[in-house]
Amino acid sequence: MHITLHTATEAVRELLDQIDPETGEMPEGFEKARELVAQKAVATTAYLIEQDLHIESVKAYIKELTAKVKTAEKRQDWLRSYLQSHMTAAGITEIKDERGLFKATLQVGRDESVEIYSEALLPPNCYREIPVSYEPDKTLIKRCIKDGMEIPGARLVKKDRLTIK
């Protein structure tokens, strides 16, 4: 039978219910059951540490790959700009691979976008309203509660923390 940390802990709880109320004497096997919980807890902690290390290494790898992707994208953007500027300078609007595998077309003046060069000069009807969003400021609420204020709808809650080193 495979004993889990949960199963071992339940066994300890059951043994705690069997403590003699008059003498406070622990039932037989209590210490052995506690030792088993401790062993299972050590194994679980070791697994947690191993997984934390694995997660951190994967995050580092992701960060490294993300940096490589950004570098490659910047290089691609630069090459597109480089090609476009030289096609423009030479007056070339289309190039083709002699095998017909690809072509690049420069469409002069095709795209339009609005450039705001001075917001102060814009008339009021050229603005749109972006609604403000509201959310609780937990840092402020915590400070107020610690200073003795009662904040309806909020309370300070203390939680347990497991630290693994």
Please state whether the predicted TM-score (pTM) of the whole model is above 0.75: no
Residue 103 has pLDDT above 80, yes or no: yes
pLDDT (mean) for 62-74: 98
C-beta separation of 37 from 5 below 8 A:
yes
What is the Cα–Cα distance from 25 to 18, expressed in whole angstroms? 9
For the residues 130-141, what does the mean pLDDT come to? Answer: 90
Whether the CB-CB separation of 33 and 9 falls below 8 Å is answered with: no
Give the C-alpha separation, 37 to 14, whole Å: 13
Based on its alpha-carbon atoms, the radius of gyration of the chain, rounded to whole angstroms, reads 34
Written as six digits, the tokens of 76 are: 């691609």
Structure tokens at 20: 């003699």
Give the residue carrying structure tokens 């997660």. Answer: 55
What does the alpha-carbon distance between residue 45 and residue 51 come to, in Å, rounded to a whole number? 10
Contacts of 151 (CB under 8 A, 6+ apart): 141, 144, 145
> Average pLDDT in the 8-27 region?
88
Mean pLDDT of the 25-46 span: 93
Instruction: Determine the average pLDDT of the residues in 19-43.
Output: 91
CA distances from 9 to 36, 52, 61 (A): 9, 24, 38
Mean pLDDT value across the chain:
91
* Distance separating alpha carbons of residues 95 and 154, to the nearest angstrom: 66
Q: Is the pLDDT of residue 85 over 80?
A: yes
For residue 162, what pLDDT is reported? 65
From 136, 164, 163, select the one nearest 151 (Cα to Cα).
136
Task: Determine the Cα–Cα distance for residues 97 and 49; give it in Å rounded to an integer.
Answer: 55
